Amino acid sequence: MKALSYSPDLKGYSKLFRSLGKDERLFPTHVSLFSGLFIFWQRSGYQRPFKISRSGLMATSRIASTATYQKCIKELRDFGYIIYQPSYHPTKASTVDWPENWKVNDTASHVGNSITL
């Protein structure tokens, strides 16, 4: 039996994922997209940063609307869950990385929603 390959960063990812449930700003589409990002990260061999495609993430996350995808990925970036570098070129992939020290940068303007990890 082949041993499973895993990244030491999985504990950090797990911390981020648990914080999603505590964040009242997020909806199921955010969680679904975040899960899709994990799949893309895993498929990349846990490279950081890793490449993504909008169409692939939308299919994996079961998001049908491009507007919803754009809104959710922007909010995940703005809320500090991901570092997103969009590519505006049709044949070049965008990239995503996880925040430093796996901590959510809670600098977005909102009331009463602090995140403790």
pTM value > 0.85 = no
pLDDT band at residue 13 using 50, 70 and 90 as cut-offs: confident
Peptide bond before 49: cis, by omega within 30 degrees of 0?
yes
Q: In this predicted structure, what is the pLDDT of residue 36?
A: 96
How far apart CA 55 and CA 93 sit, in angstroms, is: 11
Q: For residue 71, which phi and psi values (nearest 5 degrees)?
A: -65, -45
Q: In this predicted structure, what is the pLDDT of residue 51?
A: 96
Beta bridge partners of 94: 52
Mean pLDDT, to the nearest integer, of 41-66? 94
Q: In this predicted structure, what is the pLDDT of residue 21?
A: 85
Give the distance, in angstroms, between the CA of residue 22 and the centroid of all CA atoms in the same chain. Answer: 16
Q: What percent of the chain has pLDDT over 90?
A: 56
Q: Which residues contact 2 (CB under 8 A, 6 or more apart)?
A: none
